Chain A
Amino acid sequence: MKPVLDALQEEFPGRIRPLDTAAAGQVCAALEAADAPAVIASARAGFGARLACVFAEDRRAADNAFHLYYVLERPADPLYLVLRASLPPGCESFPSLAAALPAVNWQEREIRDWFGLEPAGHPIPRRVALHDNWPGVHPLRKDFRLDEVLPPFEGEQHEYRPTLGEGVFQIPVGPVHAGIIEPGHFNFAVAGEPILYLQLRMFYKHKGTEKLFEHLPAGRAVFLAESISGDSSFSHGVAFCQAVERAAGLDVPPRAVFLRTILLELERVCNHVADIGAIATDVGFVVANAHAGRLREIALNLNQELTGNRLLRGMVSIGGVRRDWDSAQISALTGAVAVIEREFDGLTALILSSDSTRDRLEHTGILTPEKARALGVVGVGGRASGVDLDVRRDHPYAAYGRMEFRVPVYQEGDVQRRMQVRIDEVRESLGILRSALRQLPGGPHSAPFGRLPAGRCALSAVEGWRGEILHWVRTGEDNRLERCKIKDPSLNNWPALVEAVQGNIVPDFPVINKSFNLSYSGTDR
C-alpha cells in the first residue's frame, strides 16, 4: 500500500503524515479525523482498497486525544495500510462512514459503546455491544476500571423494532438455544413460513476481553488470545503472537514458521470437516455427520499428538512455538494426512451422492455478491459469494509465501457453495500440509523473547478457517499492552446472515446459520 499512500499524500497535500513504524507487513500514516471520510473514499474508489477494520484508542493521557484507526488493504498488495485519525482534544465525535459503507455499521457503533465517541451521521446510532440495560459506561476508556462493579441491570436488554402487518408474527429465539450452540438472540418476523426480517442481538458473551488484554503480561496474554474463540484457538493465538513479534521486531525462526503453518491448516481441516457434517445434519443426513465426527476425532487425536491439546492450545508462543516435534510426531502427521484424505474423500462422495441433500442446500440462503461486498463479508461466506479474499495469498504470513494453493471462489452464494468452499479448502489444506512437511526446515523452534519495547504498534492478519482475523497491539511498559484490538471475521458476517435468510423458510434457518457458522465469542469478546 506504499504507492497508495504516496498517491493519497499527493491528492491531500499536507493532510497525511507517514508514520515511521518498524513493524513488518504494514504502512502507517496519520491524519485528522475530519479528513478520514474523503481519504478513505479516495483509497476505495481510486485504488480498489477495502476497509477491513475500524477501531479506536483512548490516548488522552499521552496525546490528549482519542485516535481512530482505519485498516485498509487491496488485492495483490502484501502490505496493509493503517491510517491513524486523531480527534481534536476534547472532541468526542467522529465522522461516520456507515451510511456509504454498511461494512462498518457495527464497528462504529462498537466504538460508540466502548469509548463514548459519537459516530456523527450514523444511520442507526443504537447500542450494539452494550445491551440497552447497561448503565452509561464506556469500558475501553482508560479511566474505566477492569474490575468495576456495575449495579444490577434494569429494564429491557434490547428493544426490537416491531414488524407489523396482517398475518405477521414475531418468533423470539434465544439466547439459550435448542442445540449445543452459543448464546445470541434471534427475532424472526414471519408471514407464514417465509422469514420477512431477522433482528439479531449479539454480545451476550461479552467478557471484557480487550480490556483484559491491557492488564496481562504479554506472555500470559497469549493464553487469553487462545480463548477468544475456542474453535480458532490457534489462529487467534498466532494472530496475537505475530502482532507482538512485529511490535518487538522479533524474527521467528523458519522451523517455527512452518510448524505454525501446519497447525493453522490442521485447525482449518478440523473445523471444516465438522461444519460439513453439521450442514448435513441440519438437512437430516445424520449418517454423514457421524462419519464427519469420526474423521474429526482422527484429526483431533493428531492435534494432541502434536501439541498435547485437542484444540491446539498451549502451543504457540511469542517467538515461535513451545515444543518441537520429534521424528515420531512427524511420521504420525504424515500418516494422519493420508488417512484424513482417504476418509475425507469417502465423506464428500457420500454427501455429494445424495440428491435430496443437494436439493435442500442449493438456492438456500443466498447471499448475493453485491451484498457480500457491501457488508464487507470475509472468509468462507465471502468466497461463496464472489468475494475473492484470502489473507494467506494476499498478505502472506507464516510460511504461506512458499506454498502453492488455490483459493476457491463461487458466485452463487448459497448454502451448497459455502459447503463446497469448505470441501475445496480441506483438499487445498491437505496439499499445504504435504508441502510444508516436504520443506520443513531444521533449526530452533522458537526465538527467545525478552522484554517488550514500549510504545510500538503493530498489526497482524491471519486467515483463520472462518476468515480474516486481525489483531492490533500497542505495547506499553512492563511487558504489557496498552491496547489490543481483536477483529474476528464473524463480526462483519453476522449482518450477512440477516440478508441470507430473508425469504427462506424458518426450518431452513439452522442450516443457513450453520453454513456461516460464526463465532459468538469472537464477536462478543
Chain B
Amino acid sequence: MFKILHQTLRTGIVTADYPAGPARFAERFRGRPAFDLENWSDARPAAAACPTGAIEVCDNGTQRRVTVDYGRCVFCGECASAGNGVRMTREFELAAFSREQLAFSADYALNPDGTHARLLADSRAAADTGKLEAAGRAVRETVRRVLGRSLAIREVDSGSCNGCELEIIALNNPIHDIERFGIHFVASPRHADMLLVTGPVTRNMELALRKTYQATPEPRLVVAAGACGIRGGIVGVNYATRGGVDQVIPVDVYVPGCPPRPEALLHGILLALGRGGKQLRR
C-alpha cells in the first residue's frame, strides 16, 4: 500500500493540457500533409508515391484536376518525399462532419510536359462549409440538450488492424485521461450515447455493427475513426469489406488518421458533442 502511494505521489500529475493547452508530443510527429497549390509544379510524383490513393490526378487534355482526400491519408509522408509543393505538418485536428469536408481539389492548366503551368481553381476557396456546419450544429444542440455534459461511448471494432484500438485505449491512460471530460467507455451499446467505430466494416462484422447501432438508444452519435472507418483505408472495398462505416450506419463525425492519435480522437469526440471549438482548416 505504501509502495503504491509512494510511487503515485512521486510521479505527480502527468495528464496532458490538451485541449485547453497545446498538445505536446515529439517534434517529428507526422500529421497531415500540406499542399502549396500555387507553387506545386507537378502533382504526379506525389500521386504515384501515395500508397492509399489519397492524392489523385485526373488529366483532361491540357487541364488537370488534383484531388486530395484526408479521409484516405495515412500520414506516411511519401508525397512530401516525392517532390516539391508538399510538406508534412504536425497538424492532427482533422475531424469533420462529412467525408466531403475532408477532401478538396485543385485545377491546373498544364505545360506540354505535363507539369503545372498555373493554378486555375482551388475548391477550398469556394467550399460552402456554412451549410455543413449548420447540419453539424443541429446534431450537437440535440446532443447537448439530452446528454448534458457527460457521454458514454461504446467502441465497436468492425475490422480494424487494432491500431485504432491501441489509441482508443490510450485515451484512458493517465496522460490523455478522457474521463476528465465526463466521457467514459461503457460495456454495452444499451448504455451508450455514442458509438466509436473503427475498421473498414468487414462482411462478417456488418450484421454485428447494425445490431449494435440498433441497440443504442437515441439520440445517438456515431464517430468513424481512422482511414479504414472513413473510406476503407488501405484495404478499401473488396469481397470481404464494405469500405467505410457510413456504408452500413449513419456517421456524424469522421476522424482521419492511421491510426488517429489520442488527441485527434478526443478532438473528434468533442467536436461531435459541440464541445470542441475548431474544425478542419486546410
Interface residues of A (CB under 8 A from B): 131, 137, 139, 144-150, 153, 157, 175-176, 178-183, 203-209, 211-212, 219-220, 222-224, 227-231, 233, 274, 287, 290-291, 293-294, 296-297, 300-302, 304-311, 313-314, 322, 329, 346, 349-350, 353, 519-521, 524
Known: A211-B238, A313-B76. A181 touches B165 (CB 8 A): yes
Instruction: Give every chain A residue within 8 A of B164 (Cβ-Cβ).
Output: 230
B residues near A (Cβ < 8 Å) are 3-4, 7-8, 11, 14, 25-30, 51-52, 74-78, 81, 88, 154-170, 172-175, 185, 187-189, 199-200, 202-205, 207-208, 212, 233-241, 258-259, 261
A278 and chain B: residue at smallest CB distance? B169
A-B contact count (CB 8 A): 190
Residues of B within 8 A of A520 (CB): 162
**Other-chain residue from B158, B234, B238, B240 in contact with A223 (beta carbon distance below 8 A):** B234
Q: Would A148 and B239 count as touching, CB distance under 8 A?
A: yes
Instruction: Select which of B166, B173, B199 is within 8 A of A205 by beta carbon.
Output: B199
Q: Of A180, A206, A208, A309, which one neighbours B169 at CB under 8 angstroms?
A: A180
The distance in angstroms between the C-alpha atoms of A521 and B241, with both chains bound, is 13
Judge whether A230 and B163 touch: CB under 8 Å.
yes
Within the assembled complex, what's the spacing in Å between the Cα atoms of A363 and B163?
Answer: 32
Q: Is the CB of A180 within 8 A of B162?
A: no
Question: Within the complex, which residue of B3, B78, B208, B259 is in contact with A311, where a contact is CB–CB below 8 Å?
Answer: B259
Tell which of A205, A211, A228, A322 has the most Cβ of chain B within 10 Å. A205
Contact B239 A227 (CB under 8 A): no
20 residue pairs bridging A and B, Cβ less than 8 Å apart: A139-B239, A146-B238, A147-B237, A148-B239, A182-B165, A206-B203, A206-B204, A208-B238, A212-B235, A223-B234, A227-B258, A229-B162, A230-B164, A274-B169, A291-B11, A293-B173, A305-B26, A305-B27, A305-B28, A309-B75
A346 nearest CB across to chain B (Å): 6
Query: In angstroms, how far is the closest chain A Cβ from the Cβ of B163?
Result: 3
Q: Are B162 and A230 in contact (CB under 8 A)?
A: yes
Nearest chain B CB to A58 CB, angstrom units: 16
8 Å CB contact of A346 from B7, B30, B81, B199: B7
Contact B162 A294 (CB under 8 A): no
A205-B204, A310-B261 given as contacts; is B234 within 8 A of A350 (CB)? no
User: Looking at the complex, which one of A146, A274, A311 makes contact with B239 (CB distance below 8 Å)?
Assistant: A146
On whether A350 and B202 interact (CB within 8 A), knowing A176-B208, A183-B208, the answer reads no
Q: Which residues of B contact A300 (CB under 8 A)?
A: 170
Determine whether the beta carbon of B170 is less than 8 Å from that of A308. no
From B3, B157, B205, give the contact of A350 (CB < 8 A): B3
Residue of A with least CB distance to B155: A180
Q: Are B239 and A147 in contact (CB under 8 A)?
A: yes
> Across the interface, which residues of A come within 8 angstroms of B235, CB to CB?
207-209, 212, 224, 227
Interface centre among B28, B189, B240 (most CB of A within 10 A): B240
The 10 closest A-B pairs by CB, nearest first: A230-B163, A293-B173, A178-B187, A304-B26, A308-B30, A314-B76, A305-B26, A230-B161, A208-B240, A223-B51
- Residues in B with CB closer than 8 Å to A228 are 161
Q: Kindly report which residue of chain A lies nearest to residue B164, judged by CB atoms.
A: A230
Contact A297:B173 (CB < 8 A) given known A230-B164, A230-B166, A350-B3: yes
- Whole-angstrom distance between the Cβ of A369 and the nearest chain B Cβ: 29
Q: Tell me the bound Cα distance from A300 to B28 in angstroms.
A: 12
Are B25's CB and A153's CB within 8 A? no
Q: A207-B235, A313-B74 are in contact. Are A293 and B7 (CB under 8 A)?
A: no
B204 touches A131 (CB 8 A): yes
| Contact (Cβ within 8 A) B239 A145 | yes
Set B52, B163, B238: member contacting A233, Cβ < 8 A? B163
User: Which residues of B lie under 8 Å from residue A181 when comparing CB positions?
Assistant: 157, 165
User: Which of B11, B172, B204 has the largest number of chain A CB atoms within 10 A?
Assistant: B204
The closest CB in chain B to the CB of A139 belongs to B239
Indicate if the CB atoms of A157 and B204 lie closer than 8 Å.
Answer: yes
Contact B25 A207 (CB under 8 A): no
Residues on the B chain within 8 Å of A521, using CB: 159-162
Q: Is the CB of B208 within 8 A of A291?
A: no
CA gap between A148 and B238 in the complex, in Å: 7
Q: Which of B4, B30, B159, B162 counts the most chain A CB atoms within 10 A?
A: B162
Partner among B3, B75, B81, B161 whose Cβ is within 8 Å of the Cβ of A349: B3
A176 to B14, CA, bound (A): 32
Distance to closest chain A CB from B203 (angstroms)? 7
Nearest B residue to A221 via CB reads: B51
Residue of B nearest to A220 (CB): B51
- Known contacts being A204-B204, A208-B235, is A293 close to B170, with CB within 8 Å? yes
A139 and B241 CA atoms in complex are apart in Å by 13
Q: Is the CB of A229 within 8 A of B202?
A: no
CB atoms of B163 and A296 under 8 A apart: no
Q: Could you tell me the distance in whole angstroms from the C-beta of A294 to the nearest C-beta in chain B? A: 5
* Cα–Cα, bound, A81→B78 (Å): 37
Q: How far does the alpha carbon of A8 sit from the alpha carbon of B33 in the complex, in Å?
A: 56
Which of chain B's residues have a CB closer than 8 A to the CB of A302?
26
User: Quick check: A223 and B52 within 8 Å, CB to CB?
Assistant: yes
Tell whether, in the assembled complex, residue A150 and residue B76 are in contact, meaning their CB atoms are under 8 Å apart. no
How far is it, in angstroms, between the C-alpha of A153 and the C-alpha of B202 when the chains are bound? 12
What separation, in Å, do the CA atoms of A491 and B241 have in the docked complex?
21
- In the bound complex, what is the Cα–Cα distance between A207 and B206 (angstroms)? 12
Contacts A178-B188, A314-B30, A314-B77 aside, 20 further interface pairs with beta carbons under 8 A come to A183-B159, A203-B204, A204-B159, A204-B202, A205-B205, A207-B238, A208-B240, A211-B238, A212-B238, A228-B161, A230-B161, A290-B173, A293-B173, A293-B175, A308-B30, A309-B29, A313-B163, A346-B7, A519-B162, A521-B161
